Structure 1
């Protein structure tokens, strides 16, 4: 039997995709490993295909990251792989991560406290926090929605402007949490939003950036998946859209953009796969809304910079994902900016980020947001940033709450450099 990514993921993900809402998966006793492949991932995949492994990252040439159920740990370890442990007890780490600090609305009377970034939070609290933050700067910002998710939730964002007035400047356009389990991405996007608003009146560098661009920031472009990851299956990735003829739920919104969607090798046609691309390009309600809004920005003042925030791996990924030989026409300028961004990020805590074209640096993707933004949306720069931790150490998607602020601070410092340089 030929083991492909799709066949390896089929059994555990079919189960996870069909989990009913009332059953919460605890991951109790699961142990997560990063397996060194020695550049032969196919051999590793073949050996672990018999296990009910939950994949973290199975696209990397150097290491594969998986969680193994407790009853299979002994047999897995007998295979003798070279491994690093990501979680001794994944369930215990998820339970600790899920101790959300309650949020009390301050309305327009006060700016929300930075203590928000000491904890992860329930989805409804995120919405309240964003509304409170905007209300404190009502003359410089507005909350907007671009459409509805499959389950009817608003896909909301904040528009921030400077002295030129609303909608007068080219767009800086940020997305967070397209993949539901990547909780840190929402927190980082919110931290950047917080500082753009609160430092405008006191920091001349931030004022110059705000006066040069309009900011459009969407912290949750996959709200249904995020809620499901909080209530039922922590490692859920896709949206929550069912497909006829299958019990598996969900499409990868970041493989559904209507550009190079039809190419093979960068997404899956298997409805149970983590990277299921959909039945047709742009056929998810979330993507339809995102495409329409992107075109609105393009047709207004244009898009200067787009960033899609993800975790994990510590990468700054430039166009393109669909072809490992393809390069953007301004690739030299993009590479120089990415190098500068990585250097600025490193100054805060010594965190190293790898940078380069997405396909050749990490892996192939088709129907992805940065490729669409580059060649269809007309963005001067369109990147993916994969946040903490690295791919073969740390904690994978379940990043401890103590790392929220460091992860956010280093990105904010990097953004101050990048936004001044573009």
Structure 2
């Protein structure tokens, strides 16, 4: 059992800290307002020394110890120092995946980067990011979504970027310094306009000591989320060292933002497909839009999917879309414009007066005191963590890319394989390797097994259902089409139960992950029109299905799907057109013979019936008539 220790009781802090700091330090309280006290209306969180999730906010020392312990116990998680703060503290990123850095096709894995706690006072951020880490490891052998991600993608998570600042806020969890030029006799709104140090430190800490009573360094530091290259210095205040949004002397001047760049290299950068900077507060996604229409369409689509996932969990994180080509030097701006990938700034709750919701701490029944949104109560954080994890995991799954059909098997009623084909990957192309290509006979029953490159469905306690907040057609669409001196179109009846959640492989169960395969029984229509020369006809097997993030499969697996210049490459739709939408894969030609040996030189067949009168039957009837006449 993990021992949980509160560093100090709120009452003790309220009693002791005002005597150890200057008179211009304010104290947060639950209910008392005075010249030096600000009531929030709920108990103020105090860092908790715990290596497991609690109903509250963990201290940095124990969060880091927890992360490091998880990395030691789980080979799928690697701890990597990516930088050092101004005060010589380690900045640690964690990499998640298998050891080979390639996916199941031998290609370099797509990568995702999550950054946390760039602004020191935003305690919701490290807790949400840590929950994401915990869920990845808890579900690493789920034979489904997370195991697929670990084996085929590269996830990089940096839980606490602004380590010095975060520690400063935890050193003084209920104390904050005044704004410039205010006095203890000022009105509450004035004296609390822009709190800077202690619990409300936002910036990092160059030339800043860790003593709250030191007045000369309270406004020092750089806003790390204005220290990026694109749009550097465009905001009023970016170039003022006393400003809350001072961007530094030049882009990436700070060791913390340099560390973020180093974390991106773990991707490597060329393989990045998604970036999230994790903040509070507002409960929105702030979404950059470079001058790239395809990228912006994809980003807005997945932002909506993220929102829908959170709505299903009882929250609503809605996207706020930037104007095209506009930014403010955030890290999300940098990765969107520099690497042309979907990015956003996730602002964790409470809301900031959006959509008629109470503002800041008033959302929790508090007083709504200025800046109280940065101080969520202990009672809220467990819910917040749980609400956001499914949406973040869905982004990884979506940006891993569209699935493609990997293998086809068709077996007759005796279990004999009559058709077998596998796609073989060689660099950025694939070839269809047909292993078995025997005739299928009209009127006979067969089993069809289709393997996909990723798990295609989501289950909860074994029951197949929609992923939280999503809506896709659970049943796949399968059909045969052909043209043997006429047209033919026959749908194969399918249902959600055709998805395989038991292991076994071809013609028995899933291949590598639950629901990466379909198993369907069908009867080949009788009396199909066949060629008078070969005695067979070719039918196309058509496969159309979405994964649980709503991506259609690649209609042409011969060209490998990748990410380039802000959009998908090698992805074709049903008509063979390259773009960002998949479609129906009709790559498989099945030879069909007529079991009653009826050949035809013309006529149509639809749904397995119809067609001209078989010439062999007419010949036999003619011979019978001749024999009767000769009698």
State the TM-score, normalizing by the size of structure 2. 0.48
Is residue 2:52 matched to residue 1:102? no
Distance apart, 1:328 and its partner CA:
5.9
Give the match for residue 391 of structure 1: 352
| Residues 124 and 280 in structure 2, CA contact (< 8 A), matched pair in contact too | yes
Q: For each residue in 1:27-70, what CA deviation from the matched residue of structure 2 results, as whole angstroms up to 9, or x when unmatched?
A: 246999xxxxxxxxxxxxxxxxxxxxxxxxxxxxxxxxxxxx73
The count of residues paired between Structure 1 and Structure 2 equals: 326
> What SS does the aligned partner of 1:71 have?
coil
> What SS does the aligned partner of 2:27 have?
coil
* Distance in 2, Cα, partners of 1:217 & 1:416: 12
* Distance in 1, Cα, partners of 2:77 & 2:155: 9
| Residues 26 and 36 in structure 2, CA contact (< 8 A), matched pair in contact too | no
Give the match for residue 234 of structure 2: 263
Structure with a larger share of its residues in helix: 1
Change over 3 Å in CA distance of 1:28–1:387 after alignment to 2: closer
* Distance in 2, Cα, partners of 1:143 & 1:185: 19
Give the match for residue 41 of structure 1: none
Name structure 2 gaps, 5 residues minimum.
1-17, 173-197, 209-215, 362-372, 400-631
User: 1:121-140 alignment to 2 at 5 Å?
Assistant: 121-137=58-74, 139-140=75-76
* Distance in 2, Cα, partners of 1:97 & 1:181: 12
* Distance in 1, Cα, partners of 2:102 & 2:374: 36
Give the match for residue 205 of structure 2: 240
Distance apart, 1:359 and its partner CA:
6.0
Is residue 2:156 matched to residue 1:216? yes
> Equivalent of 1:372, from 334, 340, 347?
334
Highest CA radius of gyration, 1 or 2? 2
* Distance in 2, Cα, partners of 1:146 & 1:398: 29
Change over 3 Å in CA distance of 1:249–1:169 after alignment to 2: same
* Distance in 2, Cα, partners of 1:191 & 1:303: 22
Is residue 2:124 matched to residue 1:180? no
Give the match for residue 313 of structure 2: 348
* Distance in 1, Cα, partners of 2:395 & 2:39: 38
Give the match for residue 398 of structure 2: 421
| Residues 302 and 379 in structure 1, CA contact (< 8 A), matched pair in contact too | no
State the TM-score, normalizing by the size of structure 1. 0.70
Give the match for residue 48 of structure 1: none
| Residues 27 and 36 in structure 2, CA contact (< 8 A), matched pair in contact too | no
> What SS does the aligned partner of 2:63 have?
helix
> What SS does the aligned partner of 1:118 have?
coil
> What SS does the aligned partner of 1:145 have?
strand
Name structure 1 gaps, 5 residues minimum.
1-19, 33-68, 74-87, 105-112
| Residues 177 and 222 in structure 1, CA contact (< 8 A), matched pair in contact too | yes
Is residue 2:255 matched to residue 1:285? yes
> What SS does the aligned partner of 1:346 have?
helix
Query: Over aligned residues, Cα RMSD in angstroms?
Result: 3.0
In terms of mean alpha carbon deviation, does 208-217 or 331-340 score higher? 208-217
* Distance in 2, Cα, partners of 1:23 & 1:257: 35
Distance apart, 1:183 and its partner CA:
0.4
In terms of mean alpha carbon deviation, does 305-314 or 209-218 score higher? 209-218
Give the match for residue 81 of structure 1: none
> What SS does the aligned partner of 1:411 have?
helix
| Residues 182 and 311 in structure 1, CA contact (< 8 A), matched pair in contact too | yes
| Residues 231 and 327 in structure 2, CA contact (< 8 A), matched pair in contact too | no
* Distance in 2, Cα, partners of 1:203 & 1:415: 19
Q: For each residue in 1:313-349, what CA deviation from the matched residue of structure 2 results, as whole angstroms up to 9, or x when unmatched?
A: 11112114xx9xx666511111111111101111112
| Residues 319 and 327 in structure 1, CA contact (< 8 A), matched pair in contact too | no
Runs of 4 or more above 3 Å deviation: 22-26, 28-32, 69-73, 162-168, 295-299, 326-329
| Residues 319 and 328 in structure 1, CA contact (< 8 A), matched pair in contact too | no
Is residue 2:299 matched to residue 1:334? yes
| Residues 50 and 59 in structure 2, CA contact (< 8 A), matched pair in contact too | no
